[in-house]
Amino acid sequence: MSELTTVARPYAKAAFDFAVESGAVAEWLEMLSFTAEVVKNDDITGFLAGSHSPEVTSDLFIKVCGEQLNERGQNLIKVMAENGRLVALPAVVELFAEQKALYENEVEVEITSATELSEAYQVTLAASLEKRLARKIKLNCNIDSAVVGGLLIKAGDTVIDATVRGKLDRLSHVLQS
């Protein structure tokens, strides 16, 4: 995947820069997400693996996508087809979404708890995390009985382990030292 990420990065950046300039970031994300799903189709994957001219490849791909692609999106597909990079579209979408989150100053936070969190607690937690991280928060809550109690919070590179399991593990490590 890292090879595709390297290939996808300039396309994602160019698409994102254009989307910001034209004020259509959400539209571009939707359009790119659709094209990534088309690439994941087994028939299309087989077609892309074949030796077809870039014109034939881009024409077929654009016909499959239909009205989901605007004129600029079609241009991106043509450029990527000319360079044999259509298989990198899922990575382009991923990088585009990351840039969108940074642009909107938003972070996705994974919350793991032993039990389901109430809606009110989630709202309070999101507000608290927004203050601490100085960013908009999008919560993804998971349940894992292995945490025993408390919360495990992951926001990008930041990890806050306030679980009973984590505290027991740290205590065990200290006692063994």
Q: What is the pLDDT of residue 2?
A: 57
* Mean of pLDDT values over 130-158: 85
The Cα–Cα gap between 173 and 163 comes to: 15
pLDDT in tens, 69-80: 888 888 888 888
User: Which residues neighbour 34 within 8 Å (Cβ) at sequence distance 6 or greater?
Assistant: 65, 68, 69
Helix (H) or strand (E) holding 112: strand 106-113
Q: How far apart are the first and last CA of the chain?
A: 40
Average pLDDT of every residue of the chain = 85
In the chain, the percentage of residues whose pLDDT exceeds 70 is: 99
pLDDT for 123 beyond 60: yes
C-alpha neighbours within 13 Å on the C-beta side of residue 86: 35
CB 112 within 8 A of CB 161: no
At the top level of CATH, the class of 2-102 is mainly alpha
Q: What is the pLDDT of residue 120?
A: 92
pLDDT in tens, 49-65: 777 777 888 888 888 88
In the chain, the percentage of residues whose pLDDT exceeds 90 is: 8
pLDDT in tens, 150-174: 888 888 778 888 888 888 888 888 9
The Cα–Cα gap between 66 and 64 comes to: 5
- Going edge to edge, which strands form the sheet with 158-163? 136-143, 106-113, 150-155, 158-163
Domain-by-domain residue ranges, the chain? 2-102, 105-176
